[in-house]
Amino acid sequence: MQAGAPTGSVRSFFFAPANKGRPTGMDAMKTIFGHGALLALAGMGMAACATYDNASAQEAATIATSPVSTENGYVQGVPSDKVEGVTVFKGIPFAAPPVGDLRWEMPQPAADWDGILMADSWGDSCLQNPAPQRFPVNSATDMPDSPGISEDCLYLNVWTPAETADANLPVMVWLYGGAYNEGGGSSPFSHGDYLADKGVVMVTFNYRVGSLGFFAHPELTEENGASGNQALGDAIAALQWVQDNIAAFGGDPSRVTIFGESAGSAMNAALVGAPPAEGLFARAIAESGTFQGLNIGTMVPREMAQQRSLGAAEENFGTTSLADLRALPAEEIHANIPGQGMIIDGYIIPEDLAITFSEGRQLPVDVLVGSNEDEGSFTAIFGPPATLESWQQGEGFRWGNQVELGRAAYPVTTDEEARAVATQPFGDNMSWLMRQYAEWQGAIGQQSYHYWFRHDPPYDPDRGDLGAAHTGEIPYVFDNLCAPRTFPGGSSVELMCGNPTEEAFADQVSQYWVNFAATGNPNGDGLPEWPAIGELGPNEVMVLDADGSGVAEWFGSTKADLYAALYQDKVAGPLGIATQD
């Protein structure tokens, strides 16, 4: 881990002392209600005022009925509209608005507020494309209760079943996917009501996306010692907020689990390798993505990302000056400078994390990781159906120097066979990456679990059957089958909501996730046994399926050999990582 932080780094955010001298008793009443309101209470009789300090009244106060004190001020939640006994806090600022001179800076402290913040509405989602600028609809921006879209977007949300602050419940913090270009903590599919009902404090938050969240610039690098992963800085700031405040919501800051899917999973895995994230969480659940992304490959260096950003700025605006770019409307930046995604920025990500993990220098946290059997099924919509000819023509691009291994892993002799296997490498490659991640974490002595989600959910008749598609596990993880889906999974809300088989499977999957958050072990009463990674054979995996979860065969040694060889060619060899026997 690094010894120091560069000037202006993400660590500069974390300076607020615990409690900050927050008033209590009568002083608190003055802060919450104002002096005039206290005089009105006095007119009703001194007994009315005295009740606030009365011990029995304090004992009766609950998180649901009384304001919760955070480091920045008091917040009042609202009852969940889905689950009785769960209180929801929406739109709590965890950092200052990243606008003006703070555009592209690491997150800075949120301002304190007086009185009570009524946390009953979502904060704006970060700037991104809604429909029809993107297709299909964007679950973060295009739902009936979606908030606005703004550069001022660093807000988080809390769902808690706790009645009082001493509940000491495990905490789960969600990082959304969206190809680093979209998403939001208020998306209906990730609402935490049902996970909270299982006994966790659930948190979602917004992080900057696109070129406002991933932007490397030499002036920023000179000023701060690093640049390019502003969104990861947002995640660290949100996790620091959790450490500083979640106990007041009944959460245990020593039992924080981060979990995410796709780009959120990749960021999740990167945080496990990020020195500034040390101590902010104890466990991580990665669904379909590692720090390499969704495919085997090296990470992008900052210098390359800077060249791309500066090139786009010069081409579209005729300037590369940081001041000039900050003076432009955020919408123009978003539209004309493409996001670069996660990079080696020099601080949060100090090196290609394949080096960090292969040498065992990542954070010592427990992990539960995996992917879905048909991750690549949605890619069939891009381009014409595969043929034997097109499959063979793509061999060199697909397999590089490992064409013979590729042919052995995916034997294709007809057009029909080509169509059948065309989308499989996307998911198989990802499954191999997730296995590698689990083994890395197990090698440093942490609890580590690997899954393969193979359940085929029902699809509406007018929609193609994508099988166990990318994002397909999310409704089950959140035990939230009645919520709108996120692209590309698209399983049927109508056929799943209230379906006994689907609901039972969602209860199983979500309970595994909650158990892991609570103890670092997904196993529990009534659940099929889930062995740790070290207890699985080389071609065994924990399959999650409504037809029967349990240990089953993985995808076979031929495919495993292929992806190990590709990793050596694309990552280990170029980075000088020693091959383990």
Distance CA 433, CA 15 (A): 37
375 is catalytic: yes
* R_g of the chain, CA atoms, integer Å: 24
Angle CA 214–570–412, to nearest 5: 115
| β 68-69/74-76 pair status | antiparallel
Task: Compute φ and ψ for 571, nearest 5 degrees.
Answer: -125, -65
Helix (H) or strand (E) holding 222: helix 218-224
Say how far residue 16 (Cα) sits from the centre of its chain. 25
Say how far residue 449 (Cα) sits from the centre of its chain. 18
Among the listed residues 182, 375, 473, 502, the single catalytic one is: 375
Distance CA 403, CA 395 (A): 6
Distance CA 145, CA 172 (A): 23
Distance CA 228, CA 533 (A): 34
Among the listed residues 227, 470, 491, 549, the single catalytic one is: 470
Residue in the structure block whose two tokens are 């789960």: 172
Distance CA 195, CA 483 (A): 14
DSSP 515: H
191 is catalytic: no
Residue 445 burial (CB count, 10 A): 10
Residue 231 contacts residue 208 (beta carbons within 8 Å): yes
In 258-377, which ranges are continuous DSSP H helix? Answer: 263-272, 302-317, 322-327, 330-336, 353-358
In 34-130, which ranges are continuous DSSP H helix? Answer: 35-43, 46-50, 55-60
Q: Per-residue b/e over 494-525, b at no fewer than 16 CB within 10 Å? A: eebeebeebbebbbbbbbbbbbbbbebebeee
132 burial level (CB within 10 Å; 0-12, 13-18, 19+):
exposed
351 is catalytic: no
Distance CA 99, CA 81 (A): 33
Residue 293 burial (CB count, 10 A): 21
Residue 451 contacts residue 531 (beta carbons within 8 Å): no
Alpha carbon distances (Å) from 435 to 223, 560, 568: 39, 10, 15
Among the listed residues 80, 139, 146, 262, the single catalytic one is: 262
Distance CA 273, CA 437 (A): 11
Alpha carbon distances (Å) from 35 to 26, 27, 31, 40, 42: 10, 10, 8, 9, 11
Distance CA 11, CA 166 (A): 29
Sequence-separated (6 or more) residues with CB below 8 Å from residue 84: none
Active site residues: 262, 375, 470
